[in-house]
Amino acid sequence: MTSEPIALVTGGARGIGRSIAEYLAGNGWKVVATYNTGLNEATELKHTHGVEIRQLDLTDRSRSLDFARHIRDEYSFEALVNNAGILEKQSFEEFNSGILTEPYEAASLTPLGRNGSPDDMAKVVAFLLSTDASFVTGASIVADGGYTGVDYFMKKENGALAEPLELHTVDGAAA
């Protein structure tokens, strides 16, 4: 029996899920990560970080339920990180080239001036799984570099993007 906490990370072979699995494994967690099509990446994760890997297609409900029944008998998880996502591919004719430039434009419009990285997301997950977050419950954590807190498109349209916020006073009180 292991004394280390155990986490299940879905979609753990690539991207954000991989960073979460690596980060947790490097910080004392035993990690079981699922993958669907990324066998090579999952195998590498197993060899480099000691992460247990399991193939799972979450779009197959019956197999997903079978997996859940079996995995809970095998492990006693302290954490479940539902990270898996679905990438829908489209034909070249339907491709919107705007998706290549929009994230870069948005990155220059965030208060941090950059997009978040998979490591940024892994650190948020690690915090939420730590005892430091023991009083955090029933909360939505938005980790977006402040992007949703500011309407930068409206400011950009008004030409005020690079200007600092100025408070105007009326009779000595902030307006």
Lowest mean pLDDT among 12-21, 109-118, 127-136: 109-118
Indicate if the pLDDT at residue 98 is higher than 80. no
**CATH number of the domain encompassing residue 86:** 3.40.50.720
Quick one: pLDDT at residue 167?
52
Among 77, 36, 80, 31, smallest CA distance to 60 is for 36
Residues pairing with 34 in the sheet: 54
Quick one: pLDDT at residue 70?
95
In total, how many domains does the chain have? 1
Lowest mean pLDDT among 65-79, 80-94, 117-131, 159-173: 159-173
Token pair, residue 15, equals 């991207």
Is 142 part of any domain? no
94 is in which domain, residue-wise?
6-133
Quick one: pLDDT at residue 149?
75
Is 53 part of any domain? yes
Which residues, including other chains, have CB under 8 Å from residue 40's CB and lie 6 or more apart? none
Residues 122-161 pLDDT 10s = 999 999 999 999 999 988 899 988 877 776 565 565 555 4
Is 143 part of any domain? no
Token pair, residue 104, equals 């870069």
Indicate if the pLDDT at residue 162 is higher than 60. no
Quick one: pLDDT at residue 144?
87
d(CA 159, CA 175): 21
Indicate if the pLDDT at residue 107 is higher than 50. no
- Confidence class for position 81, pLDDT limits 50, 70, 90: very high
Quick one: pLDDT at residue 97?
53
Is 159 part of any domain? no
- 126-158 burial, b at 16+ Cβ within 10 Å, e below that, comes to beebeeeeeeeeeeeeeeebebeeeebeeeeee
Indicate if the pLDDT at residue 83 is higher than 70. yes
Residues 26-53 pLDDT 10s = 999 999 999 999 999 999 999 999 999 9
Quick one: pLDDT at residue 106?
45
The answer to whether 81 touches 15, Cβ cutoff 8 Å, is no
Is 94 part of any domain? yes
Q: Is 72 left (phi over 0), alpha (psi -120 to 50) or beta?
A: alpha
What's the distance, CA 47 to chain centroid?
23
Is 164 part of any domain? no
Q: Output the pTM of the full model.
A: 0.73
SS3 at position 54: strand
Is 102 part of any domain? yes
Indicate the average pLDDT of the chain. 82
